[in-house]
């Protein structure tokens, strides 16, 4: 081909319409929240519990995520272990584990709670599901030894399983009262003295939100 022919061929190639590439769509990340009444939204109007408020918070920050409310009021770590395989459905990419409050209220041996949580995290490992462990802080009602064992099981298990960890589910609504006693801040607690009201849940969401975002990032990776 002569010089003129080559020039014409190049010009035709450059002038040809370029096929637009379809944008790669980010896949929705599905997160199951395995917990008790604190997760289920006990005592709150529909839409004001932890899962719907957290969903709204994440939506507002542009995340393509769907939360599943797997909270059951009154549940213990044993109950969570019994239903974890059902919770880890085929579409679940990540799981929030927020259990142990009822174990504490019942004075269950922390060794038993620890074994149950270990079983839950092992099930998630086997399913290839990323996990965020949200801990609780024990009262000193049962003594320092109980308190130390209870508080330690969450970070230790999270580390052992390579899970993300947030220290205290109720930390955002706890503090010192006027008498200098540590406990829940009354303006964020329902009349039962145990469960957060809607404003309390909003504070909890702001507190745990960044850890949930980290879970979404992990769970969304191919």
Q: How far is CA 164 from CA 45, 109, 135, 214, in A?
A: 30, 24, 11, 8
Burial classification of residue 155, based on how many CB atoms lie within 10 Å of its CB (0-12 exposed, 13-18 middle, 19 or more buried): middle
Q: Which of 113, 166, 195, 207 is catalytic?
A: 195
Active site residue 36: no
Active site residue 161: no
User: Three-class SS of residue 33?
Assistant: strand
Q: Which of 36, 37, 93, 161 is catalytic?
A: 37
Active site residue 113: no
Residue of 118, 90, 78 whose CA lies nearest to 30: 90
Can you list the alpha helix ranges (DSSP code H) found in the chain? 3-15, 37-40, 50-60, 77-87, 101-106, 110-127, 144-161, 198-219
Distance CA 114, CA 155 (A): 11
DSSP summary character for residue 189: B
Active site members: 37, 192, 195
């Amino acid at each position: 081909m002569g010089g003129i022919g080559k020039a014409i061929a190049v010009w035709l190639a450059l002038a040809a319409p370029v096929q637009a590439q379809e944008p790669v769509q980010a896949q929705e990340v599905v997160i199951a929240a395995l917990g008790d009444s604190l997760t289920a939204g006990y005592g709150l109007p529909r839409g004001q519990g932890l899962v719907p408020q957290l969903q709204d918070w994440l939506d507002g920050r542009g995340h393509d995520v769907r939360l599943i409310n797997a909270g059951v009021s009154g549940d213990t770590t044993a109950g969570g272990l019994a239903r974890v395989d059902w919770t880890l459905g085929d579409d679940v990419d990540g799981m929030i584990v927020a259990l142990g409050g009822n174990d504490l209220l019942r004075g269950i041996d922390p060794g038993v709670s620890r074994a149950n949580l270990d079983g839950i995290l092992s099930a998630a490992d086997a399913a290839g599901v990323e996990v965020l462990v949200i801990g609780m802080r024990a009262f000193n009602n049962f003594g320092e030894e109980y308190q130390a064992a209870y508080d330690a099981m969450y970070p230790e298990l999270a580390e052992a399983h390579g899970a993300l960890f947030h220290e205290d589910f109720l930390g955002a609504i706890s503090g010192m009262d006027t008498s200098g006693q540590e406990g829940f801040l009354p303006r964020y607690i329902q009349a039962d003295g145990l469960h957060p009201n809607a404003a309390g849940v909003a504070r909890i969401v702001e507190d745990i939100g960044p850890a949930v975002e980290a879970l979404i990032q992990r769970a969304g990776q191919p």
